[in-house]
């Protein structure tokens, strides 16, 4: 065998892929790519009624979405059941394990169980130690450990043996996982030794906690990878953000390409304390990634979402290409699409009630709208430049009290009249993109709102 690095992501398919779990996958992947090693995927589907085909697909989907490609065929833990039991036989024959009748109560269900199980024998004195690439030297007194079940009374092996045996079988050199596994590691180290296998290196990553600093739960909303996809986050943005949770390159870089992340990654730079998930920062980062998308890529996203919303594939008054730049810069998540530019695609636009009240019901607003409708209709040339010149000229004119009308008093009502809302691209750019006829029509219609 070579001394190539081999790591694995070993999720149990129990529904959706948790954001904390996928982060472990991200770090495994980053480490493997940095070292030029292999990144493996093992589905730990042992004995769980919950591990369905759908659940496995969700894991696969989440990984594909984030671009976490693995280097060897997926291993399903249940397929290795014979190896697990064979290993238990060896442990039994070498005295590292023994059978015993045990009673227990499932803390979750309250169910009582009794029967013969196989227990792994932990040392009674001395210390169990291992070096953690993130947490440093770990040690635990043997007296603080207990023998533990490795085969249930129904004959099925539990996680601890299955996990270790599979890691041996797959030649895993580095185990990178959440630090909820640190205690298990004291057990696993002993199993590796009892099986005569080299103990792999360990790297335990800090947990990700929610905005309240508490462990993530389903109630936190976006707790699953799929949620982020649905909410319009780009995988590159989430990937970048996740990489920065518990790790930093050491310089001031934050927005980093996958390549840069791979190059800079190391466990020495991993933190060892829990990190909070700051959605605001992810939102910012996502906006940065969207703004940086090639226009064609953004256009494809927009098109897909227009179709999904049942809107036409092109704006009513211009080409889609013209609309892309002003919309792209204002999009923070893909879910903003097409809502933030809908009025370019449909005639029956929705008016923001507050905006109507403030801008269209202002004194003199209706008269101005009608006047501008007439003026726009009569212009020889209707463009951003000509409409702006006209509005600016109008803004210079004095009101009865002698002061100039001002741009605000004109621009705001026009904007609300043609778009229904208070924000958006520059007004004159918007008018040109909408087209003269539509602008004139909307101005007149808005005057009677």
Counting DSSP H helices and E strands in the chain, the numbers are: 17, 12
Which of 267, 265, 263 is CA-nearest to residue 175? 267
Least distance between RNA and beta carbon 382 (Å) = 15
Closest CA to 165 of 205, 196, 132, 131: 196
Q: Give the separation between CA 393 and CA 391, rounded to whole angstroms.
A: 5
Three-class secondary structure of residue 284 per DSSP: helix
Stretch that binds RNA, among 64-72, 87-95, 96-104, 433-441 (CB under 7 A): 96-104
Which of 37, 200, 206, 413 is close enough to bind RNA by CB under 7 A? 206
Does 85 sit near RNA (CB under 7 A)?
A: no
159 binds RNA (CB under 7 A): yes
318 near RNA, rule: CB under 7 A: no
Closer to RNA at the Cβ: 383 or 422? 422
Choose which of 198, 353, 404, 408 interacts with RNA (CB under 7 A): 408
Please identify which residue in 49, 124, 125, 139 interacts with RNA, judged by CB under 7 A.
139
Q: Residue 210's closest CA among 270, 275, 272, 271? A: 275
Binding of RNA by 429 (CB under 7 A): yes
Q: Has 99 been annotated as catalytic?
A: no
Q: Residue 229 or 281: which CB sits closer to RNA?
A: 281
Contact between 75 and 45 under an 8 Å Cβ cutoff? The reply is no
Residue 169, interface with RNA (CB under 7 A)?
Answer: no
Q: Which of 218, 259, 280, 299 is catalytic?
A: 218
Of positions 58, 368, 415, 442, contacts RNA by CB under 7 A: 415
Shorter beta-carbon distance to RNA: residue 37 or 244: 244
- For 51, 234, 261, 336, 448, the CA distances from 291, given in Å and listed in that order, are 39, 11, 20, 13, 38
Residues 25-84 that bind RNA (CB under 7 A): 44, 46-48, 77
Closest separation between CB of residue 212 and RNA, Å? 8
For residue 3, the minimal CB distance to RNA (Å) is 28
Within residues 336-395, the interface with RNA by CB under 7 A covers none
Binding to RNA in span 254-293, by CB under 7 A: 254, 269, 271-276, 278, 280-281, 283-284, 287, 291
Residue 121 interacts with RNA (CB under 7 A)? Answer: no
Residues between 7 and 26 that touch RNA (CB under 7 A): 12
Which residues are part of the catalytic machinery?
218
């Amino acid at each position: 065998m070579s001394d190539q690095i081999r790591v694995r992501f070993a999720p149990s398919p129990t529904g959706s892929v948790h954001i904390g779990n996928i982060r472990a996958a991200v770090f495994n992947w980053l480490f493997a790519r940095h070292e030029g090693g292999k990144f493996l995927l093992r589905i730990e589907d042992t004995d769980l009624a919950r591990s369905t085909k759908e659940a496995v697909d969700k894991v696969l989907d989440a990984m594909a979405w984030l671009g976490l490609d693995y280097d060897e065929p997926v291993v399903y833990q249940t397929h290795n059941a014979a190896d697990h039991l064979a290993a238990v036989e060896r442990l039994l024959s070498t005295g590292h394990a023994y059978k015993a009748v045990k009673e227990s109560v499932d803390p979750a269900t309250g169910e009582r169980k009794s029967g013969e199980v196989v227990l792994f024998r932990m040392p009674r004195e001395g210390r169990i130690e291992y070096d953690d690439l993130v947490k440093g030297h770990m040690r635990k007194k043997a007296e603080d450990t207990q023998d533990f079940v490795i085969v249930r009374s129904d004959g099925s092996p539990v996680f601890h043996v299955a996990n270790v045996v599979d890691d041996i079988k797959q030649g895993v050199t580095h185990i990178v996982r959440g630090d909820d596994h640190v205690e298990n590691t004291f057990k696993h180290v002993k199993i590796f030794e009892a099986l005569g296998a080299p103990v792999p290196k360990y790297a335990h990553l800090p947990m990700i906690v929610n905005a309240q600093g508490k462990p993530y739960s389903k109630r936190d909303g976006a707790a699953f990878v799929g949620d982020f996809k649905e909410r319009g986050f780009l995988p590159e943005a989430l990937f970048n953000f996740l990489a920065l949770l518990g790790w930093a390159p050491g310089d001031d870089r934050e927005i980093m390409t996958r390549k840069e992340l791979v190059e800079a990654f190391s466990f020495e730079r991993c933190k060892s304390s829990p990190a909070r998930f700051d959605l605001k920062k992810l939102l910012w980062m996502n906006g940065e990634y969207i703004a940086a998308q090639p226009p064609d890529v953004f256009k494809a996203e927009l098109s897909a979402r227009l179709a999904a919303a049942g809107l036409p594939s092109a704006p009513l008054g211009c080409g889609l290409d013209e609309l892309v730049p002003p919309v792209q810069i204002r999009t923070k998540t893909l879910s903003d699409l097409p809502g933030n530019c809908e009025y370019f695609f449909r005639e029956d636009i929705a008016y923001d009630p507050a905006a109507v009240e403030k801008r269209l019901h202002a004194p003199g607003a209706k008269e101005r709208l009608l006047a501008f409708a007439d003026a726009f209709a009569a212009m020889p040339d209707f463009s951003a430049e000509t409409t702006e010149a006209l509005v600016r000229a109008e803004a210079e004119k004095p009101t009865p009290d002698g002061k100039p009308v001002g741009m605000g008093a004109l621009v705001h009502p026009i904007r609300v009249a043609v778009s229904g809302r208070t924000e958006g691209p520059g007004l004159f750019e918007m008018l040109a993109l909408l087209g003269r006829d539509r602008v004139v029509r909307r101005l007149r219609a808005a005057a009677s709102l």
